């Protein structure tokens, strides 16, 4: 029986990771990439691949040694993955096959077509051509325009600049503007001078971005009150200047699973880059979709149903988790976007952020409270033993509340929590949503506005040892 035809649109981090993971499990797929070759353009800059997300995907793809070799630790993911698909294949349109529903025909800009695709994966980024098959959601302007600036080979061409930025990053955050610099593996420096401005600002602000004085005008108009060194960095990053508008999609985009088609990465959930999660989430998507497809291929029941059905089950399972993860990260990114451009995250422009300046103000203290998500519902436990251990902890919590004179009445699976995160340890299991607990010895109604709680499961008898 022939293999199902899997087409991945886009050779970005998401598409490449998926293709590699499938390839490792002998599931063939073809990547169609609009650009003419792997070396066509600079493949992006320094990206922070998190150990439990982006790096985990690389590990499963058998590419961690290559990542470690190439990383500083930045991930020029598409270079590392080195996957050759069909280059110069810009997808123009997709039609569902009328005779064989659930399969798709693709038309490309070079006039070619591919027919009978059993699984079409849109990993084609922000302006995905596959997305409209699943949702009418489109990216919208996030209110920020970034002027990307490059200075190449700075240690040779501009040692002052090289030394000032060092080997890491430099940031300045302020109300409505920010400057971010990063050293690249190539020795170049890439910067973003970003401003909160309307969508047409880049065209209408009166700066000709191709003119030699574009940087001077940018600095004079928008960063003039910053420290001299910071301004000098912008002025001396002379090798390239590209205005980039930041786009995003609504938080919580979702769709009803559709046979034979799905989305990965930015195509599914475009976020602004202000928490540095985009590539990690994209690679986590690829990992989950690959795992779901591989699991179906290898499962006992898979043999009893058709490939089409197996793919549909895998896609539905993947999308369920992916959409939740996307929403969580999109929320964090919206928060990050506000933080980067607000005075509450403000740092002084006039002081170097990488070195203590000679005019640094004494007694300046900056305190932050960082809240992290903690735990997950126990039904997401990775094993039965972990589930039972967590349940036992929750029962103890229930008992201890009772000893304190409270009856906890909201025993729902979403309220019984566990935590196995070794990097973020505290209580291994715990109860949440205590607003419906009542004083056991109460004499009157609780005063709660809505009637809720899971009365049928209130274990008062057990708690009273009856």
Q: Interface with ligand FAD by CB under 6 A: which residues?
A: 9-15, 32-35, 47-48, 89-91, 123-125, 129, 244, 264-267, 273, 276-280, 282
Q: Which is nearer to ligand FAD, 185 or 276 (CB)?
A: 276
Which structure tokens are listed for 202?
């880049």
Closest CA to 149 of 247, 259, 15, 241: 241
Least CB distance from residue 150 to ligand FAD, whole Å?
12
C-beta of residue 195 within 8 angstroms of C-beta of residue 145:
yes
Q: Which is nearer to ligand FAD, 89 or 409 (CB)?
A: 89
C-beta of residue 180 within 8 angstroms of C-beta of residue 226:
no
DSSP string, 358-398: TTPPTT------------EEGGG-SSHHHHHHHHHHHHHHH
Least CB distance from residue 191 to ligand FAD, whole Å?
11
C-beta of residue 22 within 8 angstroms of C-beta of residue 28:
yes
Least CB distance from residue 396 to ligand FAD, whole Å?
40
Q: Which is nearer to ligand FAD, 139 or 260 (CB)?
A: 139
Q: Which is nearer to ligand FAD, 260 or 265 (CB)?
A: 265
Least CB distance from residue 312 to ligand FAD, whole Å?
23
Q: Which is nearer to ligand FAD, 114 or 124 (CB)?
A: 124
Q: Which is nearer to ligand FAD, 158 or 184 (CB)?
A: 184
C-beta of residue 109 within 8 angstroms of C-beta of residue 90:
yes
C-beta of residue 349 within 8 angstroms of C-beta of residue 174:
yes
DSSP string, 314-348: HHHHHHHHHHHHHHHHHHHHHHHHHHHTSGGG---
Phi, then psi, of 190 in degrees rounded to 5: -115, 135
C-beta of residue 38 within 8 angstroms of C-beta of residue 84:
yes
Least CB distance from residue 188 to ligand FAD, whole Å?
15
Least CB distance from residue 54 to ligand FAD, whole Å?
7
Q: Which is nearer to ligand FAD, 118 or 266 (CB)?
A: 266
Least CB distance from residue 39 to ligand FAD, whole Å?
13
């Amino acid at each position: 029986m022939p293999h199902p035809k899997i087409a991945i649109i886009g050779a970005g981090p998401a598409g490449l990771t998926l293709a590699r993971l499938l390839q490792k499990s002998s599931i063939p797929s073809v990547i169609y990439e609009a650009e003419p070759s792997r070396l066509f353009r600079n493949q992006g800059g320094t990206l922070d691949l998190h150990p439990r997300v982006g790096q985990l995907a690389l590990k499963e793809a058998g590419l961690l040694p290559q990542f470690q070799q190439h990383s500083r630790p930045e991930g020029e993911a598409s270079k590392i993955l080195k996957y050759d698909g069909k280059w110069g294949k810009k997808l123009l349109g997709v039609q569902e096959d009328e005779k064989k529903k659930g399969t798709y025909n693709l038309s490309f800009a070079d006039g070619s077509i591919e027919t009978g695709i059993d699984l079409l994966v849109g990993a084609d980024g922000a302006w995905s051509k596959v997305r409209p098959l699943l949702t009418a959601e489109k990216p919208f302007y996030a209110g920020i325009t970034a002027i990307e600036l490059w200075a190449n080979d700075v240690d040779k061409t501009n040692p002052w600049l090289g030394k000032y930025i060092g080997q890491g990053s430099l940031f300045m955050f302020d109300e409505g503007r920010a400057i971010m610099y990063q050293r690249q593996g190539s020795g170049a420096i890439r910067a973003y001078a970003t401003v909160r401005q309307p969508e047409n600002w880049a065209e209408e602000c009166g700066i000709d971005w191709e003119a030699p004085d574009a940087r001077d005008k940018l600095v004079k108009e928008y960063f003039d009150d910053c420290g001299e060194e910071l301004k000098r960095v912008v002025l001396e990053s002379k090798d390239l200047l590209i205005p980039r508008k930041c786009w995003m999609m609504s938080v919580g985009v979702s769709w009803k699973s559709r046979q034979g088609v799905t989305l990965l990465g930015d195509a599914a959930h475009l976020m602004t880059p202000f928490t540095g999660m985009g590539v990690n989430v994209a690679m986590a998507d690829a990992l989950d979709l690959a795992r779901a497809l591989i699991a179906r291929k290898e499962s006992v029941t898979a043999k009893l149903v058709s490939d089409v059905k197996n793919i549909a089950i895998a896609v539905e399972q993947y999308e369920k988790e992916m959409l939740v993860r996307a929403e969580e990260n999109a929320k964090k990114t919206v928060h990050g976007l506000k933080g980067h451009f607000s005075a509450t995250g403000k740092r002084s422009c006039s002081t170097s952020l990488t070195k203590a300046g000679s005019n640094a103000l004494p007694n300046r203290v900056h305190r932050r409270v960082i809240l992290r998500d903690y735990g997950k519902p126990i039904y997401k436990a990775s094993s039965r033993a972990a589930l039972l251990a967590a349940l036992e902890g929750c029962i103890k919590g229930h008992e201890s509340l009772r000893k304190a004179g409270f009856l906890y009445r909201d025993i729902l699976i979403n309220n019984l929590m566990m935590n196995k995160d070794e990097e973020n340890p505290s209580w291994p299991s715990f109860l949440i949503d205590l607003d419906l607990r009542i004083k056991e010895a109460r004499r009157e109604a609780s005063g709660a506005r809505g009637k809720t709680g899971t009365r049928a499961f209130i274990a008062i008898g057990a708690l009273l040892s009856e």
